[in-house]
Amino acid sequence: MAVHVTFSYYCFSRKYSAEKHPAGEPIIDSTSQRPRTFCPIRYRLPKQLPVLILGLIHRSAK
Residue 44 lies in a domain: yes
pLDDT one-digit tens code per residue, 15-43: 888 888 878 888 887 788 888 988 889 89
Residue 4 lies in a domain: no
| 61 pLDDT tier (thresholds 50, 70, 90) | low
Query: What is the arithmetic mean of pLDDT over 35-56?
Result: 87
40 lies in which domain range?
A: 9-61
Number of domains forming the structure of the chain: 1
Q: Across the chain, what does the average pLDDT equal?
A: 82
Q: Which residues contact 5 (CB under 8 A, 6 or more apart)?
A: 49, 53
Residue 57 lies in a domain: yes
| 44 pLDDT tier (thresholds 50, 70, 90) | very high
Residue 3 lies in a domain: no
Residue 1 lies in a domain: no
Residue 2 lies in a domain: no
The CA distance from 20 to 11, in Å, is 20
Alpha-carbon torsion (29, 32, 35, 36), positive or negative: negative
What is the pLDDT, as a whole number, of residue 52? 86
What is the pLDDT, as a whole number, of residue 35? 87
